Structure 1
């Protein structure tokens, strides 16, 4: 918290005085950050830079909350999203160093009740497999168990995994998931006897000197020096319209925290970069070396395990696109303009983060931002990296603007095409409205309730607080969700009738063809709960 700021800033100032002249951020960085934030309406940002193993910058910009006056500083905490996956990997690395597990141990040997959909995959899944997105699950499978929030426990979430059907065969390819990082968090508890939250705080964050960082949402809300989430949600598609403050309690359920629930500050991210670049060991403010995990585990976490698609980036971004791309343990490993780079992005609703390292240059940067305007964050980060590499200046913010404009244009075209192909409204429902009401359950998500409210239907995802709304009739037995919280992605809800003319299944799909992958509606299959079947109207 801010109690430690004077000591830490003094140490940072001393470090700056002893570094060689070239180990410094770009001289016009403040102006570049301010310009990018103003141009994109970003409320706040925080940046950490480490060169030659020492922090050369830890600084905040802008405000914590739109309309407020509290400034972002080096101790302001931001949710860091999936950049925290590397923290969960590090927590496992500590247990490997302790001799309590191995990267290639079978998960079921440490957590006997663990189950995947396929029994063979259950028996073969290793600790390493949990972290590298090659399980066979589809993109974002199961994310609705903790997005945008959840009331269920982590153990209950892990037990639900056995009901998620795979999209591909085991270890045959790459598909990004969050759910198996929740499993990794539960595994840490099974092996250590401490929750992921406690173990990570005591064995990773504290030894790393990350005194502001918190693993629990309640601790984040209790810290007055925190950034609030913001997004543009009132336009035709997300990312358009004015910037608005979001509900900070609807970003991620605690059960999914090992996948992206850490909150951290610029000062703490500087420490984290030092630990990473120091291969598990950093030098504290007193000049003493502190080991968080061993160099052997650092090598394991940085070693690619699965190939990932190599993107083709348009226009000015083409020269920044990697020529090879892979995933290690919580890190992307790729090239950037001839250099090996480890990086990872992170996002929860209304907040984004980016962390990148060039190990051969002993350089790292982290950027935290309390909005979804990616181009400002990623553009600034690449300009900082280019400066560290001695490359000519490039306006990467403008390059990302061009890229994002193309994405928005593509999104609008997809929305237009979907509008033209969807069935016209009409085609009366097959049943009286009251007969669609009832309680239904999906094997992995759990229960929902559909109620008859004055001749109209309402739907409630009961284990996702606040995910409720009315059902607007579209065509025949298909309805569209109109959520009470307009920031939640709408879905088409289709009731299927059995031979007896009663509802025997409900399927869903995102209404938008460009919906965030974490709204994995397509993986749901709801059926009436047994006691509801008995009570269906004659």
Structure 2
């Protein structure tokens, strides 16, 4: 996903925010070096004591509709609080039991499920995905045979950035998306890092099949129930049924309004968990306990340690920041105080932003969940908090750093965005010239239909009906708004003889459809 500190081009963000921004990167250790000096208790207590004000400041500027925060220290929950509202205009307050969608923080939670299965002997991190998901196929036959759970959980399989996400937006289900990944060109296997929701999902599904149950049930049985996480689920239907749930919001004309919502069951292991901060505090306590919670072993320590150890470089050093690393579903590295850490962010463009940060040598972890689209609020809070824990004062203008980093996520896509239509465009051909059914192995067929003198594009299994507007000659345009297409996105539809190339769907060179 490139080399910028903000990993993840758009939604389901979360490979996320290292280098100059998050407290990760700069080390491939998991804490085996000499232990840093203890942080004074007073410094930690003072940091916790400032959370109310830090959160209140962020709620007012840049602002989000609602936020919940929890801090765990030495295995105990020492701070939980909700701020703002679950739904703008409803008067419904957020509290520590309010359930939020976690987005890509689900990857870290799910990784601990896999670690449990590794510890139980059901699989290993190095088990080939095909051992239990034999139909899983990539475009390289040799890679297909050997790609492991570890490769997909560390995003080093060679699949391109966010492979499969746009298929999900089109309405395809999980199995269909995973099967279509075989049509995508691969980057170097184990020699590149590209963040993928559906690659990781394939690995998790293989683990679930090995266990003989579905992923959501496996997560319940080995993690949520043993930890007492009664408000946590990997099924969207459970989130939708919660009376105390935070609904997603986006900004329109500078005001927060309810977003479209997203049902991420197709990639549940990567982005489908919902939970409260009271529940997530229990998970963080287990993580700080190296797999032990309230004196009970939940996850085998060695399997969990592998997940929070650097497995691949996620971004090279540059612009004054060190290299960033990724484990199995976790960002890992060291803080500015040279303390080993691990973390993850999550975001839905239609209204969720989440972040947790763990610094084991301090015995402290924090999580912040919000119901506004990603503008950097939870990351700012966790970074400010750990500055106070480690240094006694906030070291950087985190709000500005994160706001600048996240600004690109809300930008519309397309080479024609902001362009003025030609004053004297070349005329289009007769509309019947363009009409017909066009095939594409990866995206499936599309239809171009003349409806009363205007062309309409029909795409996806739902299908989506997208009016085409003439631009110039054989080039038409259409607009999209969905999880991966920010408002204002414009795509070209360029016709040539028996084919049409859809710019928005051509990011990996597979956007040409043939009649």
In which range does the TM-score fall when normalised by the shorter chain? 0.7 to 0.9
The within-5 A match list for 1:361-376 is: 361-376=362-377
The answer for the alignment partner of 1:14 in structure 2 is none
The 5-angstrom pairing of residues 394-405 of structure 1 reads 394=395, 398-401=397-400, 404-405=403-404
Partner residue in 2 for 1:245: 258
Task: Answer 1 or 2: which has greater helix percent.
Answer: 1
- Distance verdict in 2 for CA 1:78–1:413, change over 3 Å: closer
> Does structure 1 retain, via aligned residues, the 8 Å contact 2:97–2:244?
yes
- Which residue among 90, 97, 103 is the counterpart of 1:68? 90
In structure 2, distance between residues paired with 1:484 and 1:402: 27
The CA distance in 2 between the partners of 1:296 and 1:482, in whole Å, is 49
1:434 aligns with 2:432: yes
- Secondary structure at 1:346's aligned position in 2? strand
| Residue of 498, 503, 506 corresponding to 2:500 | 506
CA contact (8 A) 1:142 1:445 kept: no
Which of 453, 458, 481 in structure 1 is aligned with 2:456? 458
On the 8 A contact 1:496/1:505 being kept in 2, the answer is: yes
Deviation at 1:311, TM superposition (A): 6.0
Aligned counterpart, 1:257: 268
Do the aligned residues in 2 keep the contact of 1:508 with 1:524 (CA within 8 Å)?
A: no
- Match for residue 50 of structure 2 among 14, 18, 28: 28
In 1: Cα distance, 2:325 partner to 2:133 partner: 28
1:480–1:490 Cα contact (<8 Å) kept: no
Q: How many residues align?
A: 471
Measured in 2, the distance between the counterparts of 1:199 and 1:83 equals 18
Residue in 2 that maps onto 1:183? 202
Q: What is the alpha-carbon distance in structure 1 between the residues aligned to residue 348 and residue 417 of structure 2?
A: 27
TM-score of the aligned structures, taking structure 2 as reference length: 0.83
Alignment of 1:111-510 (within 5 A): 111-147=133-169, 150=171, 152-166=172-186, 168-233=187-252, 241-248=254-261, 251-283=262-294, 289-310=295-316, 321=321, 323-337=322-336, 338-349=338-349, 350-394=351-395, 398-401=397-400, 404-405=403-404, 408=407, 419=418, 426-429=425-428, 431-463=429-461, 467-483=464-480, 490-498=489-497, 504-510=498-504
Q: Partners in 1 of 2:365 and 2:408 — Cα distance?
A: 33
What residue number does 2:105 align with?
83
Deviation, 1:158, is 1.4
Q: 1:259-303 CA deviation, whole Å, 9 max, x = no partner?
A: 1111111101101111111111111xxxxx232210111111112
For 1:446, what is the secondary structure of its paired residue? coil
Contact kept in structure 2, 1:493 and 1:508, CA below 8 Å: yes
User: Which has the bigger relative contact order, CA under 8 A and spacing at least 6?
Assistant: 2
Q: Is residue 351–residue 369 contact of structure 1 (8 Å, CA) maintained in 2?
A: yes
**1:432–1:416 distance in 2 versus 1, CA, 3 Å:** closer
Closer, same or farther: CA 469–418 of 1 in aligned 2, 3 Å: closer
CA apart distance, 1:23: 5.2
> 1:514: which partner in 2?
none
* Distance change in 2, residues 1:526/1:194 (3 Å): farther
Match of 1:12 in 2: none
Structure 1 CA distance for aligned equivalents of residues 415 and 183 of structure 2 = 35
Distance in 1, matches of 2:424 and 2:207, equals 51
User: By how many angstroms is 1:204 displaced?
Assistant: 1.6
Question: Any conservation in 1 of the 2:223–2:298 contact (CA below 8 Å)?
Answer: yes
Work out whether residues 348 and 374 of structure 2, in 8 Å CA contact, stay in contact via their aligned partners in 1: no
What residue in structure 2 maps to residue 108 of structure 1? 130
Q: For residues 222 and 329 of structure 2, what CA distance do their matches in structure 1 show?
A: 18
Alpha-carbon distance in structure 2 between the residues aligned to 1:447 and 1:76: 42
Q: Give the drift of 1:26.
A: 2.9
| Pair 1:442–1:253, CA change in 2 (3 A) | farther
Distance 1:336 1:211, change over 3 A: same
* TM-score normalised by structure 1 residue count: 0.80
Deviations 1:130-152 (A, max 9, x none): 111111122212211223x73x3
Q: SS of 1:49's equivalent?
A: strand
Aligned equivalents of 1:413, 1:447: Cα separation in 2 = 25
Corresponding residue for residue 4 of structure 1: none
Using the TM superposition, give the Cα deviation of residue 487 of structure 1 relative to its aligned residue in structure 2, in angstroms.
Answer: 5.3
SS of 1:48's partner is strand
Q: Distance in 2 between matches of 1:183 and 1:409?
A: 28
RMSD: 3.0
CA distance in 2, matches of 1:367, 1:130: 26
The answer for unaligned runs of 5 or more in structure 1 is 1-19, 235-240, 284-288, 499-503, 511-518, 534-538
Distance 1:415 1:187 in 2: 36
Conserved? CA contact 1:54–1:274, under 8 Å: yes
Radius of gyration: which is bigger? 1
Q: What is the CA distance between 1:327 and its match in structure 2? A: 0.6
Instruction: Tell me, yes or no, if the aligned pair for 2:137 and 2:144 is still in contact at 8 Å.
Output: yes
